Amino acid sequence: MSIKRIGILGAGRAGTALARAAASARIDVRIAGSRPPRMMKYHLAQYASHATAVLAEDIAEDADLVVLMVPQEELDDIDVPSLAGILLVDATNRWEDEPLPDWLETSLDAGLSSSEGIATHFKSSRVVKALNHISHWDMDADRATKQSAQRALGVASDNKQDAQTVSELTVALGFSPVLLPNLAAGRGLEPGGAIFNEVLDAATLSARLGPSAQ
Ligand SMILES: NC(=O)c1ccc[n+]([C@@H]2O[C@H](COP(=O)([O-])OP(=O)(O)OC[C@H]3O[C@@H](n4cnc5c(N)ncnc54)[C@H](OP(=O)(O)O)[C@@H]3O)[C@@H](O)[C@H]2O)c1
């Protein structure tokens, strides 16, 4: 596998579950919250003991990709230039009536998917939508459970190579990737859609997403 190290922005329920799953797959993990690394010592000892805490603005250093797992209402606090050039996996969702940054509201009002809106803001990054429609409980399930369920996860990207890289990560984490043809198709992975938080195999997930799934 080509993925050796990932960065995770957000060290809450989702970020630490991904960190544990990635560590089980022997992937090196760097993780950042809004707090400085020295203030995350006990939190990480409990929830993601194999991950290394770094400053948020250093998360992309030497990483093969960065996964965005902070609440959407906090996105204005993320340093955009520090993510320039990186493959940025948008795993965020809007939660109920969570307030959004103005630029994201504007994008949604214009009919874009949430990841297209995020790609508009993080314009110097290569945004892929993935890892958002699975709960932290299921992300952290043991490998045998995942394999017996053959759970599928969608990957939406405008770039085939980036989609392939995120698919590799998905497999390493114990899931079956289903590639979607473009970032716009990531709308099907959002809350309220046909597959959100559902445990589905690849054929069923593809069928539910319809023609946008390959
Ligand atoms: N929970 C799930 O099952 C799940 C699954 C898939 C996707 N998601 C999505 O992932 C996102 C996070 O959800 P969550 O449930 O993990 O939330 P959470 O438990 O509230 O954790 C949020 C994390 O974001 C960090 N954060 C906030 N502002 C930040 C900033 N400017 N820079 C770096 N880190 C920052 C917080 O750090 P501090 O604590 O240091 O402030 C905290 O570690 C949401 O968009 C959610 O929809 C969640």
pLDDT digits (tens, 9 = 90+) for 133-173: 999 999 988 766 666 668 999 999 999 999 999 999 999 99
Res. 214: pLDDT tops 60? no
Give the per-residue pLDDT at 147.
63
Instruction: Determine contact, residues 92/135, Cβ cutoff 8 Å.
Output: no
Whole-angstrom Cα Rg for the chain: 16
Give the per-residue pLDDT at 210.
85
Give the per-residue pLDDT at 146.
66
Q: How far is CA 124 from CA 74, 80, 112, 118, 163, in A?
A: 19, 8, 18, 11, 17
Q: Which helix (H) or strand (E) holds 213?
A: none
Decide whether any atom of ligand 1 lies within 6 Å of the 125 Cβ. no
Decide whether any atom of ligand 1 lies within 6 Å of the 58 Cβ. no
Decide whether any atom of ligand 1 lies within 6 Å of the 10 Cβ. yes
Question: Which residue reads 């799934």 in tokens?
Answer: 213
Decide whether any atom of ligand 1 lies within 6 Å of the 91 Cβ. yes
For the chain, domain boundaries: 5-212
- The CATH architecture assigned to 5-212 reads 3-Layer(aba) Sandwich (3.40)
Average pLDDT over the chain, rounded to whole? Answer: 94
Give the per-residue pLDDT at 96.
85
Query: Can you name the residues that pair with 89 across neighbouring β-strands?
Result: 67, 128
Give the per-residue pLDDT at 143.
65
Q: Which atom of ligand 1 approaches the CA of 15 most closely?
A: 16
User: CA torsion sign, 92 to 95 to 98 to 103?
Assistant: positive
User: CA torsion sign, 102 to 58 to 1 to 199?
Assistant: negative
Least confident of 7-11, 156-160, 208-212: 208-212
Q: What is the pLDDT of residues 64-115, one digit of tens each?
A: 999 999 999 999 999 999 999 999 999 999 988 899 999 999 999 999 999 9
